Amino acid sequence: MDQLLKVLEDNATLTPEQLAIMLDKEVGDIRKMISAYEAEGVILGYKTIIDWDKTEREYVTAMIEVKITPQRDRGFDRIAEKIYNYPEVQSVYLMSGSYDLCVIIEGRTMKEVAFFVAQKLAPIEFVMSTATHFVLRRYKDKGIVYGAPEIDERGNCV
């Protein structure tokens, strides 16, 4: 795997200058590689992982199992596109197993999410059924454990 991608995936705040030193490359080359990855759609964006539970913000997250009838020629893609265009929708995955699409949405309240499912998601043509599961607590997301910041407990030994 390209080390640049791995390092950036773990920490997108590193500057091209820092990356160049760490990966033993020229700054110009790092900039070019990042631009190329962005142009090819390999790098899609940069975001910050926030534990909103530690803030005043009111929000809920739900994972919705969606069963759909695939369309001739277009399979699941058209329905997936219809669903992911809603700004409330954070993620859409095509799944193997007992349902077809896994849709993750965020809303201010459970009621808001329930309305979204009932009024927008369920009525979409070819959607056969939905099952909504609310997230009660995040333990780990994007490889990061939610909780108190890590304290360096290593002993100063010898």
For residue 152, the minimal CB distance to other proteins (Å) is 7
Q: How far is the CB of 156 from other proteins (least distance, A)?
A: 4
CB of 157: closest distance to other proteins in angstroms?
7
Shortest Cβ 141–other proteins spacing (Å): 17
What is the C-alpha separation between 46 and 8, in angstroms, rounded?
A: 9
Residue 23 or 63 having the CB closest to other proteins? 23
Spatial neighbors of 3 by CB under 8 A, at least 6 apart, are 23
- φ, ψ dihedrals at 88, nearest 5°: -65, -25
- Residue 66's φ and ψ, nearest 5 degrees, are -120, 125
Complete edge-to-edge strand list for the sheet that includes strand 127-134 = 89-94, 101-107, 60-68, 127-134
Contact 15, 3 (CB under 8 A): no
Query: Contact positions toward other proteins, by CB under 8 A?
Result: 3, 7, 11, 14, 18, 21-24, 152, 154-158
